[in-house]
């Protein structure tokens, strides 16, 4: 953990979903032996293109929901890795994406936050049905309320309107929200908007050269409660 100040005055902890609560590489990981030596590259490309398409479609004003872009990203990744002729593999990977593993410390972290009186929520690019499936599969449904999808406004993060959605639904000012993400670009966008942001930097990545600075950097979700006084 860094020496940055604790989070003060937060009344809600709002979590990004994919990469933050849920391991986006667990879908391919579940089939790694079957996929073979291209598995890691497939998973990395899938995630890369999934995100790139959100940014590009937002700029193009050509919105499609995140489930569609997840499929588009997988199609690109499968073709690029020579796996494009395996439709049954695509179907199984898409199904697994609806049941991603959550990070093991997530349930206890959410329980501790809620026991302290902190509201907990998700704010995600994910389509509502995707989020409902992931949260239910991980056993987090009683630990998160509300679950917010950018589909309510039809544009992806880091557009400021996506972060405003959390303020509106929670009835809180931006500085009363502690926002958590493992994605450095999302961290920058949320901090630039005005949230108190904690970056979950699990892999020791460098900071993005973008406006917006996190208040703290941690490696695991279970470091969060101490930061917010829970």
Cβ neighbors of 142 (< 8 A, separation 6 or more) are: none
Contacts of 150 (CB under 8 A, 6+ apart): 66, 123, 124, 125, 156, 157, 162, 165
For helices 160-170 and 184-193, the axis angle rounded to 10 degrees is 60
> 147 with 122: CB under 8 angstroms?
yes
Instruction: Dihedral sign for Cα 28, 29, 34, 39, please.
Output: positive
**Cα distance between residue 192 and residue 181, in whole Å:** 14
What is the distance between the alpha carbons of residues 61 and 154, in angstroms, rounded to a whole number? Answer: 9
Which of 16, 65, 101, 186 does the annotation list as catalytic? Answer: 16
Q: 181 has which bridge partners?
A: 199
Say if residue 102 is exposed, middle or buried (CB neighbours under 10 Å; 0-12, 13-18, 19+).
buried
Name the H helices within the chain.
26-29, 32-35, 39-60, 66-80, 87-97, 106-115, 128-138, 160-170, 184-193, 224-228
Told to judge if 16 belongs to the known catalytic residues of this protein, a careful annotator would answer yes
Residues annotated as catalytic are 16
């Amino acid at each position: 953990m860094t020496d940055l100040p604790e989070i003060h005055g937060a009344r809600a902890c709002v979590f990004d979903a994919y990469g933050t609560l849920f391991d986006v590489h667990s879908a391919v990981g579940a089939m790694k032996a079957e996929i073979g030596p291209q598995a890691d590259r497939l998973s990395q490309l899938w995630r890369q293109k999934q995100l790139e398409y959100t940014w590009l479609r937002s700029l193009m004003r050509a919105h499609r929901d995140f489930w569609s872009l997840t499929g588009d990203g997988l199609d690109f990744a499968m073709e690029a890795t020579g796996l494009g002729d395996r439709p049954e593999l695509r179907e199984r990977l898409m199904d697994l994406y609806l049941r991603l593993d959550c990070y093991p410390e997530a349930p206890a972290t959410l329980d501790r936050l809620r026991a302290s009186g902190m509201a907990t929520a998700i704010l995600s690019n994910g389509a509502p049905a995707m989020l409902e499936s992931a949260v239910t599969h991980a056993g987090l449904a009683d630990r998160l309320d509300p679950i917010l999808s950018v589909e309510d406004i039809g544009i992806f993060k880091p557009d400021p309107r996506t972060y405003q959605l959390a303020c509106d639904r929670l009835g809180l000012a931006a500085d009363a929200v502690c926002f958590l993400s493992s994605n450095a670009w999302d961290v920058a966008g949320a901090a630039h908007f005005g949230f108190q942001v904690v970056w979950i930097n699990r892999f020791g990545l460098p900071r993005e050269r973008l406006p917006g600075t996190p208040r703290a950097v941690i490696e695991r979700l279970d470091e969060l409660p101490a930061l917010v006084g829970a």
